[in-house]
Each structure stands twice: as C-alpha cells, then as structure tokens.
Amino acid sequence: MENIVNDMFAVGAHYGYSRTRRHPSTVPYIYGTKNRTDIINLEKTAENLSVALEAVTSLSNGGKQILFVGTKPEAKELLKTYASSVNMPYVENRWIGGTLTNEKQIKSRVNLLDDLSTKREKNELVVMNKKERLLVDRKIAKLDRNFSGIANLTGLPAALVVVDTREEHIAVTEANRLGIPVIGLCNTDCDLGIISLPIPANDGSKKSIEFFLKQIAGAIKS
C-alpha cells in the first residue's frame, strides 16, 4: 500500500477543497486541514481504490460493459482516451438526461447517427441540395458529439466510472434509480453516501484524474 500512496501523493491526489465546501460524508476520509484546504487521507483512498479495482476486474472478466462518465474540461479528453483504450463506452461531452432511464430514445439517436453517417460515406446524400446537405452535416456533428461515445453500448452498463460525482449528479441519480453501481472519483465536496464505490481524491487535477483512470483501465485489461 505504501507505494500506491506515494504515487497518489506525487500526483496531488491528496488535495481536497476548502473546508467551507466540505460535504459531511467526507469527514472520515480527511486527514487534516492546511491553509483552509482539506487534505485527504490517501491510506483510506488506497483501501477504497483497491475495492473498486477488484469490482472493475470482476465485471470486465465477466464480459460486462462499464460506462465512463466525465465531462469537466480537466477530465473529458483523458476519459475518452482511457475508455477507448479498453473498448468501453464513454460520455465526455455532455450527459444527456435519460441516457440510462430512457434507453429506447437514446438508442434511436445512436441509430440515427449511424444511419446518417453511413449514407454520407456512401455518397447517398448527393441528391440533396447544398443547404440540405449542410443541415445534415450539422446534425451528424451534433449527434456525434453527444452519442458517438456510447455507440458500442449494448443495453444498460453493469457499472459507471464517474469523475466528479457532484458534477455528474444527473448520471449518478439515473444509475442509482436503476440500481447500477457507481465507482466515483470524489473530492471533498461530494456526497459519498450516494456512491456505491467512492474513491476520495482530487478530482480537479489532470494528473490526479489520469492516475485513477489509468488504474481503472489497467484493472479492466488484467
């Protein structure tokens, strides 16, 4: 455990938010406060991370899909990279309400994206005039931004990996409603009580976010 704690410390995973932003549920994971900033107890983070990685490995070995969610600027590109590296679906642009709870409607949008993209690739849109093609191109671009990451999602995911559960509260709410476990990277402003497998750590730094995404992707590959 000592090595993993040192690695987390090196990427600044111990930095929480100011004490005024602290959610009461994070108190057991706070080591102390320095310059009015909460410091996260990385030994406890390591324990939670170990449990989360075991769950991820078990689901992956069972052929289950895990949906990665993280739309904040610090997370989105990293999330897309690591989710894609293990062929898992992801949402990095914007969580569309109903992604989990209105599966039929979301699937129809994914199918429309596939249909329009295929027609464009086969030059089947040449019968349209310039303005019509422009409108279709814009529609494809919008659909691609919102749904391309979940194009390979078959049914409901077995779990969600969420960067900043406070930011992605709609996704968390939908998952909880359906009984889908959430593995969440949670800073000190998050409600850990509504997360199945919380990982208390800095969720605002690219280095910290990448560290945990790399750990999770590695557990999926193992």
- The answer to whether 139 and 40 are in contact (CB under 8 A) is no
CATH number at residue 22: 3.40.50.10490
Question: Dihedral of CA 76/77/83/88: which sign?
Answer: positive
CATH number at residue 122: 1.10.287
Domain count, the chain: 2
The average pLDDT across 158-184 equals 97
pLDDT band at 208 (very low <50, low <70, confident <90, very high): very high
What pLDDT score was predicted for residue 1?
Answer: 65
Boundary of a domain, candidates 91, 119, 150: 150
Its domain, for residue 143, covers: 103-150
From CA 187, how far away is CA 201, in angstroms rounded? Answer: 5
What pLDDT score was predicted for residue 82?
Answer: 98
Above 70 in pLDDT, residue 2?
A: no
**Are 16 and 72 in the same domain?**
yes
- The answer to whether 113 and 54 are in contact (CB under 8 A) is no
**Are 81 and 175 in the same domain?**
yes
**Are 86 and 120 in the same domain?**
no
- The answer to whether 103 and 127 are in contact (CB under 8 A) is no
Task: Name the most confidently modeled range: 112-116, 131-135, 198-202.
Answer: 198-202
**Are 216 and 123 in the same domain?**
no
From CA 157, how far away is CA 38, in angstroms rounded? Answer: 34
State the alpha helices, DSSP H only, in 62-205: 76-85, 103-121, 130-147, 169-178
Note the pLDDT tens digit of each residue in 19-54: 999 999 999 999 999 989 999 999 999 999 999 999
**Are 85 and 175 in the same domain?**
yes
